[in-house]
Amino acid sequence: MEKNNQHNNKNIKRELSLKKQEDYFLLNLLPIFSVLLGLLLSGLMMLLLGHNPLTVYSNMLNYAFRDIYNIADIFAKATPLILTGLAFGFAFRASLFNIGAQGQFYIGAVMAVGFALKLGSMPLLLTLFICFLMSMVGGSIWAAFIGYVKARFNANEFLVSMMLTYVAIAVMNFLLGGFLKETKGEYPQTDVIPDSGWLPSLIPHTRLHWGFVLALLVALIAYLILWKTSLGYKIRMVGYNRDAARYAGINVEQIFVIVFFISGAFAGIAGFTEVNGMQHMLIESFNPLIGAEGIGIAILGGAHPLGIVISAFLFGALKVGGNLVVQTSRIPASIIGIMEGLVILSVVFSYFIRNRLIILNSKKKLAVQERKDL
Amino acid sequence: MVEFKINNDYITLKNITKYFPGTIANDHINFTLARGEVLALFGENGAGKTTLMSILYGLYQPDKGEIYIKGKLIRIRSPQDAMKYGVGMIHQHFTLVPVHTVAENIILGTESYILKYLDIEKRIKKIKEIGKKYGLEVDPNAFVGQLPVGMQQRVEIIKALYRNAQILIMDEPTSVLTAQETSKLFNFIRDFRSKGYSVIFISHKLNEVMEIADRITVLRDGKIVGNVLRKEATEKKLTKMMIGRDLMIPGKNNILRTNQREILKIENLTIMGDRKSKMVDDLSFNVKEGEIFGIAGVSGNGQEELAQAICGLRKVKSGRIVLNKKEITNSNALSIIEKGVGYIPADRHKEGLVLDMSIEENLLLKNHSDSSFVNYGFLDRKKMKDKAKRLMENFEIKAASPQSKAMTLSGGNQQKVAVAREVSIGSNALIAVQPTRGLDLGAIDYVHKTLLREKKEGKAILLISTEFSEIMALSDRIGVMYRGKLLKIILREDAKIDEIGMLMAGITEG
Amino acid sequence: MNIITGLLVATIRMSTPLMLGALGEVFVERTGVMNIAIEGIFLMGAWGGFVGAYLTGKLWMGLLFAMIVGILCGAVYGYFTVKLKQHQIVTGVAINILTVGLGLFLYQILFGIPLLPLTVEPLKDIAIPFLSDIPIIGSALFNQNILTYLAVVLIALGYWVLFKTPLGLIIRSTGENPEAVDVAGINVERIRFLAVLGSSALDGLAGAFYSIGFLGLYTNNIIGGRGWIAFAICFLGNWDPLGILIGSLIFGFAEGLSVTLLTSNFKLIPNEFLIALPYILTIVATIARRKFNVPAFLGKPYIKERG
Does A296 contact C87 at a Cβ distance shorter than 8 Å?
Answer: no
At B432, give phi and psi (nearest 5°). Answer: -120, 120
Provide the H-helix boundaries in C165-240: 166-176, 178-183, 188-208, 226-236
Q: How many CA atoms lie within 13 A of B85 on its CB side?
A: 23
pLDDT value at position C213?
83
pLDDT value at position B409?
84
CA distance A269 to B487: 63
Does C183 contact B59 at a Cβ distance shorter than 8 Å?
Answer: yes
Beta strand pairing call for B262-272 and B278-288:
antiparallel
CB C58: neighbour CB atoms within 10 A?
Answer: 12
Beta strand pairing call for B215-220 and B223-229:
antiparallel
Please, which chains are in contact with B (at least 3 CB pairs closer than 8 A)? A, C
Distance from CA of A187 to the nearest CA of B (A): 48
pLDDT value at position B3?
46
Beta strand pairing call for B374-375 and B378-379:
antiparallel
pLDDT value at position C269?
67
Q: Which residues contact B125 (CB under 8 A, 6 or more apart)?
A: none
pLDDT value at position C268?
66
CA distance A8 to A6: 5
B61 and chain C in contact, CB less than 8 A? yes
The whole model's pTM is what? 0.82
A371 in a domain, yes or no? no
CATH number, span B11-243? 3.40.50.300
**Are the CB atoms for B446 and B412 separated by under 8 Å?**
yes
Distance from CA of A266 to the nearest CA of B (A): 20
3-state SS, one letter per residue, for B165-181: CCEEEEECHHHHCCHHH
CA distance C3 to B312: 64
Look at residue C218 and tell me whether its pLDDT is greater than 80: yes
Distance from CA of C118 to the nearest CA of A (A): 17
Chain B with chain C: Cβ pairs closer than 8 A: 78
Q: What H or E segment, with its residue span, contains residue B406?
A: none
Does C169 contact B79 at a Cβ distance shorter than 8 Å?
Answer: no
What number is the average pLDDT over the span B167-189?
A: 85
Residues A290-300: tens digit of each pLDDT: 998 999 899 88
At B88, give phi and psi (nearest 5°). Answer: -125, 150
B interface with A, Cβ–Cβ < 8 A, is: 19, 21-22, 311-313, 332-337, 343, 345, 350-357, 361, 365-366, 368-369, 374, 377-379, 381, 399-400, 404, 407-410, 440, 442
Please, which chains are in contact with C (at least 3 CB pairs closer than 8 A)? A, B
Question: Which residue, B184, B235, B179, B191, is CA-closest to B209?
Answer: B235
- The chain B residue lying nearest A247, using CA atoms, is B351
Residues paired with B288 in a beta bridge = B262
Phi-psi category of residue A160: left, alpha or beta, with phi > 0 → left and psi -120 to 50 → alpha: alpha
Look at residue A15 and tell me whether its pLDDT is greater than 70: no
**Are the CB atoms for B303 and B297 separated by under 8 Å?**
yes
Where does the pLDDT of residue C203 fall: very low under 50, low under 70, confident under 90, or very high at 90 and above? very high
Distance from CA of C21 to the nearest CA of B (A): 22
C94 and chain A in contact, CB less than 8 A? yes
**Are the CB atoms for B176 and B193 separated by under 8 Å?**
no
Distance from CA of B295 to the nearest CA of A (A): 21
Look at residue B243 and tell me whether its pLDDT is greater than 70: no
Please tell me which of the candidates B78, B116, B118 has its beta carbon nearest to residue C185: B78
Where does the pLDDT of residue A3 fall: very low under 50, low under 70, confident under 90, or very high at 90 and above? very low
**Are the CB atoms for B340 and B385 separated by under 8 Å?**
no
User: What's the helix, strand, coil split of chain C in %, to 5?
Assistant: 75, 0, 25
pLDDT value at position B225?
87
Question: Which residue, B500, B506, B423, is CA-closest to B209?
Answer: B506
pLDDT value at position C186?
87
Average pLDDT of the residues of chain B:
85
Q: How far is CA C105 from the centre of its chain?
A: 23
Question: Which residue, C250, C262, C259, C208, is CA-closest to C71?
Answer: C208
DSSP structure string for C230-289: HHHHHHHTTT-HHHHHHHHHHHHHHHHHHHHHHHHT--SS-HHHHHHHHHHHHHHHHHTG
Where does the pLDDT of residue B189 fall: very low under 50, low under 70, confident under 90, or very high at 90 and above? very high
C272 and chain A in contact, CB less than 8 A? yes
Where does the pLDDT of residue A363 fall: very low under 50, low under 70, confident under 90, or very high at 90 and above? low
Residues A185-210: tens digit of each pLDDT: 777 788 888 888 888 888 888 889 99
CA distance A84 to A25: 27
pLDDT value at position B245?
53
Distance from CA of A179 to the nearest CA of B (A): 42
- The chain C residue lying nearest B113, using CA atoms, is C166
pLDDT value at position A143?
96
CA angle C230, C236, C239 (to 5 degrees): 85
Does B332 contact A363 at a Cβ distance shorter than 8 Å?
Answer: no
Contacts of C170 in chain B (CB under 8 A): 108-109, 114
Residues B131-163: tens digit of each pLDDT: 888 888 889 999 998 888 788 999 999 999 999
Question: Which residue, C290, C26, C301, is CA-closest to C171?
Answer: C26
pLDDT value at position C147?
87
- The chain B residue lying nearest C179, using CA atoms, is B95
Chain A with chain C: Cβ pairs closer than 8 A: 145
Distance from CA of A94 to the nearest CA of C (A): 16
B107 and chain C in contact, CB less than 8 A? yes
CA distance A315 to A31: 14
A61 in a domain, yes or no? no
pLDDT value at position A19?
44
Long-range contacts of residues C126-135, Cβ cutoff 8 Å, at least 24 apart: none
Does B354 contact A241 at a Cβ distance shorter than 8 Å?
Answer: yes
A359 and chain C in contact, CB less than 8 A? no
pLDDT value at position A349?
85
CA distance A276 to A270: 10
Please tell me which of the candidates B352, B377, B407 has its beta carbon nearest to residue A244: B352
Contacts of B379 in chain A (CB under 8 A): 228-230, 233
Residues paired with B323 in a beta bridge = B264, B326
Contacts of B20 in chain C (CB under 8 A): 307
Please tell me which of the candidates C183, C296, C306 has its beta carbon nearest to residue B95: C183
A154 and chain B in contact, CB less than 8 A? no
CA angle B265, B266, B267 (to 5 degrees): 115
Contacts of A6 in chain B (CB under 8 A): 442
Does B352 contact A247 at a Cβ distance shorter than 8 Å?
Answer: yes
Look at residue A139 and tell me whether its pLDDT is greater than 90: yes
According to DSSP, residue C86 is labeled: -
CA distance B200 to A266: 60
Residues 9-48 of chain B with CB under 8 A from chain C are: 18-20
CB C31: neighbour CB atoms within 10 A?
Answer: 29
Residues paired with A366 in a beta bridge = none
Domains in chain B: boundaries:
11-243, 245-340+429-442+449-510, 349-425
What number is the average pLDDT over the span C196-204?
A: 96
Look at residue B23 and tell me whether its pLDDT is greater than 80: no
CB A203: neighbour CB atoms within 10 A?
Answer: 15
According to DSSP, residue A197 is labeled: G
What number is the average pLDDT over the span C266-272?
A: 68
pLDDT value at position C172?
94
Count of domains observed in chain A? 1
- The chain A residue lying nearest B367, using CA atoms, is A248
Domain of residue A281, residue span:
78-314
Question: Which residue, B431, B394, B395, B400, is CA-closest to B415?
Answer: B395
Average pLDDT of the residues of chain C:
85
A267 in a domain, yes or no? yes
Q: Among positive and negative, which fits the CA dihedral B92, B95, B98, B103?
A: negative
CA distance C307 to C305: 7
What number is the average pLDDT over the span B212-227?
A: 88
Does C98 contact A348 at a Cβ distance shorter than 8 Å?
Answer: no
Q: Which of A14-23, B271-280, C251-260 has the lowest mean pLDDT?
A: A14-23
Does A240 contact B356 at a Cβ distance shorter than 8 Å?
Answer: yes
CATH domain C2-291 topology: ABC transporter involved in vitamin B12 uptake, BtuC (1.10.3470)
A333 in a domain, yes or no? no
What number is the average pLDDT over the span A83-89?
A: 96
Look at residue B400 and tell me whether its pLDDT is greater than 70: yes
**Are the CB atoms for C17 and C281 separated by under 8 Å?**
no
Please tell me which of the candidates A20, A228, A230 has its beta carbon nearest to residue B368: A230
According to DSSP, residue A196 is labeled: G
Please, which chains are in contact with A (at least 3 CB pairs closer than 8 A)? B, C
- The chain A residue lying nearest C92, using CA atoms, is A345
pLDDT value at position B242?
72
> Which tops the pLDDT comparison, A234 or C7?
A234
**Are the CB atoms for B70 and B10 separated by under 8 Å?**
yes
Distances (CA, A) of A128 to A121, A125, A175, A205, A272: 12, 5, 21, 21, 9
- The chain C residue lying nearest A38, using CA atoms, is C98
Where does B250-366 show beta strands of DSSP type E?
262-272, 278-288, 291-296, 318-323, 326-327, 341-344
3-state secondary structure at position B65: strand
CA distance A178 to A185: 9
Percent of chain C with pLDDT over 90: 39
Contacts of C168 in chain B (CB under 8 A): 118
Beta strand pairing call for B11-20 and B64-69:
antiparallel
pLDDT value at position A220?
97
Look at residue A183 and tell me whether its pLDDT is greater than 80: no
Q: Which residues contact B228 (CB under 8 A, 6 or more apart)?
A: B215, B216, B218, B237, B238
Provide the H-helix boundaries in B135-271: 149-162, 179-194, 206-212, 235-243
Q: Which of B164-178, C239-253, C276-290 has the lowest mean pLDDT?
A: C276-290
Please tell me which of the candidates B54, B108, B114 has its beta carbon nearest to residue C184: B108
- The chain C residue lying nearest B104, using CA atoms, is C169
CA distance A325 to A62: 10
C294 and chain A in contact, CB less than 8 A? yes
Look at residue B504 and tell me whether its pLDDT is greater than 80: no
What number is the average pLDDT over the span A31-50?
A: 85
Distance from CA of A78 to the nearest CA of C (A): 17
In our burial notation (b when 16+ CB lie closer than 10 A, e otherwise), range C137-152 reads ebbbbbbbbbbbebbb
Long-range contacts of residues B31-36, Cβ cutoff 8 Å, at least 24 apart: B31/B217, B31/B224, B32/B7, B33/B7, B33/B9, B33/B167, B33/B198, B33/B200, B34/B7, B34/B9, B34/B10, B34/B198, B35/B9, B35/B10, B35/B196, B35/B197, B35/B198, B36/B193, B36/B194, B36/B196, B36/B197, B36/B198
Q: What H or E segment, with its residue span, contains residue A304?
A: none
CATH domain B245-340+429-442+449-510 topology: Rossmann fold (3.40.50)
Give the mutation candidate from A233, A237, A250, A362 for the B interface (greatest B CB count, under 10 A): A233
CA distance C5 to C24: 29
Q: How many CA atoms lie within 13 A of B342 on its CB side?
A: 27
Contacts of C89 in chain A (CB under 8 A): 97, 99, 158
CA distance A139 to A103: 8
Look at residue B348 and tell me whether its pLDDT is greater than 70: yes
Average pLDDT of the residues of chain A:
85
Residues C113-122: tens digit of each pLDDT: 777 777 877 7
**Are the CB atoms for B387 and B370 separated by under 8 Å?**
no
Contacts of A17 in chain B (CB under 8 A): 399-400, 404, 408-410
Look at residue A98 and tell me whether its pLDDT is greater than 50: yes
Strand order in the sheet with B72-74: B23-33, B11-20, B64-69, B72-74
Rounded CA Rg of chain A: 24
